[in-house]
């Protein structure tokens, strides 16, 4: 594979390879010298057309830990139309010889388009409401670390599924890895095509909670909503928020996940977010290792299974 555009493109073996490589690379964070020379002389461009805290800094640090040169291109505030500006930018990056381009864009499909314009590897860091494959990889990495296995794991993904690229990528990857996913949301926050996704669907959080090993809460993506999708924030929170009472009804070993940014008091209470069974900060830590693994496999590793084999250093 040359690019990472969709979590659904990964075979089971490729996904496991990323997770195992990430596990190996995680050890570097504990060393006094935190860098590998693997991507020395390679250039990684971070092309962020949308706001980001975790994903952007994580990709930047991951590339630096592998000794790549990193260019951060922030397109915020640009008024040029999407298709045109993206293509022009791509041609510029191409002319500079970028080996890898990490792109976040508000248009679903932007990463796919970019992949047709540049020679380097394209890594999708979130395209509109479509996909966010490295988030899914870091999420399954976290589940495997915490719970020891993925096969047969019962995962509930709760909240604004309609606007969530995190949900779609997780459903695809978890299905590939043998987990059972149930999406939980009000009908208005589910995509019409959800019956074609490889997962179950429920409107009742209280029914799904006690049967789940993992409960992944999602933020209500107000910035992507033009209309009202539920009566009030309070009403949403009452039915779909993970508060102390609901948390108490989860299985004893079940974990709570959230990709961030969290809206405390809305989809998750502060108490639950800060509980030892919440993996929110571990997810961020694991994100670094997973992104190092993906960059290594796509840009560098001659022995890698999903890497671009050309031009090895």
100 vs 259, beta carbon nearer ligand NCD: 259
Q: Closest separation between CB of residue 54 and ligand NCD, Å?
A: 5
Asked if 279 is an active-site residue, the reply is no
Alpha-carbon gap, residue 62 to 65, rounded angstroms: 5
Q: In terms of DSSP H, where are the helices of the chain?
A: 12-26, 54-65, 82-96, 110-115, 133-147, 165-176, 205-208, 233-240, 244-248, 270-273, 280-295
* Helix, strand, coil share of the chain (percent; to 5): 45, 15, 40
Q: Which of 65, 104, 113, 163 is catalytic?
A: 104
Return the residue nearest ligand NCD (CB atom).
219
Q: Which of 2, 23, 54, 277 is catalytic?
A: 54
Q: Which of 43, 55, 142, 182 is catalytic?
A: 55
Asked if 55 is an active-site residue, the reply is yes
179 vs 262, beta carbon nearer ligand NCD: 262
113 vs 219, beta carbon nearer ligand NCD: 219
Q: Closest separation between CB of residue 189 and ligand NCD, Å?
A: 13
Asked if 76 is an active-site residue, the reply is no
Q: Closest separation between CB of residue 284 and ligand NCD, Å?
A: 8
Q: Which of 132, 144, 163, 165 is catalytic?
A: 132
Q: Closest separation between CB of residue 268 and ligand NCD, Å?
A: 12
191 vs 305, beta carbon nearer ligand NCD: 191
Residue 183 in tokens: 């999406």
Q: In terms of DSSP H, where are the helices of 66-208?
A: 82-96, 110-115, 133-147, 165-176, 205-208
Residue 144 in tokens: 């495997």
Asked if 23 is an active-site residue, the reply is no
Name the site residues for ligand NCD (rule: CB under 6 A): 54-55, 126, 132, 135, 165-166, 219, 221, 259-260
Task: Say which residues have a Cβ less than 8 Å from residue 155's Cβ, sequence separation at least 6.
Answer: 143, 170, 174, 179, 180, 181, 182, 212, 213, 214, 216
HEC profile of 77-110: CCCCCHHHHHHHHHHHHHHHCCCEEEEEECCCCH
180 vs 267, beta carbon nearer ligand NCD: 267
Asked if 56 is an active-site residue, the reply is no
Q: Which of 2, 82, 246, 277 is catalytic?
A: 82
Q: Closest separation between CB of residue 92 and ligand NCD, Å?
A: 25
**Cα 258-252-254 angle, rounded to 5 deg:** 30
Residue 164 in tokens: 């969530």
Active site residues: 54-55, 82, 104, 132
């Amino acid at each position: 594979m040359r690019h990472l555009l969709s979590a659904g493109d990964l075979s089971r073996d490729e996904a496991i390879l990323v997770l195992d490589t990430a596990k190996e690379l995680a050890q570097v964070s504990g060393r006094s010298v935190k860098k590998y020379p693997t991507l020395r002389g390679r250039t990684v461009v971070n092309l962020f057309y949308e706001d980001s805290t975790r994903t952007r800094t994580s990709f930047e640090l991951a590339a630096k830990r592998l000794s790549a040169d990193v260019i951060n291109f922030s397109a915020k505030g640009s008024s040029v139309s999407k298709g045109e500006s993206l293509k022009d930018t791509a041609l510029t990056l191409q002319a500079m010889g970028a080996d890898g381009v990490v792109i976040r864009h508000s248009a679903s499909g932007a990463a796919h388009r970019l992949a047709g314009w540049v020679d380097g590897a394209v890594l999708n860091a979130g395209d509109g409401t479509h996909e966010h494959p490295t988030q899914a990889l870091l999420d399954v990495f976290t589940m495997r670390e915490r719970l020891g296995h993925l096969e047969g794991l019962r995962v509930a993904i709760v909240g604004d599924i309609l606007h969530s690229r995190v949900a779609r990528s997780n459903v695809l990857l978890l299905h590939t890895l043998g987990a059972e996913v149930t999406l939980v949301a009000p009908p208005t926050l589910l995509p019409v095509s959800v019956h074609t996704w490889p997962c179950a669907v429920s409107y009742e959080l209280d029914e799904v909670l006690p049967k789940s090993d993992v409960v992944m809460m999602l933020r209500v993506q107000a910035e992507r909503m033009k209309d009202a999708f539920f009566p009030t924030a309070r009403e949403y929170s009452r039915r779909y928020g993970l508060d102390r009472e609901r948390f108490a009804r989860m299985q004893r070993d079940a974990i709570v996940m959230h990709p961030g940014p969290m809206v405390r008091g809305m989809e998750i209470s502060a108490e639950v977010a800060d509980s030892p069974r919440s993996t929110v900060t571990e997810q961020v830590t694991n994100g670094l290792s997973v992104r190092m693994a993906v960059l290594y496999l796509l840009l560098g590793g001659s022995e890698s299974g999903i890497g671009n084999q050309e031009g090895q250093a």
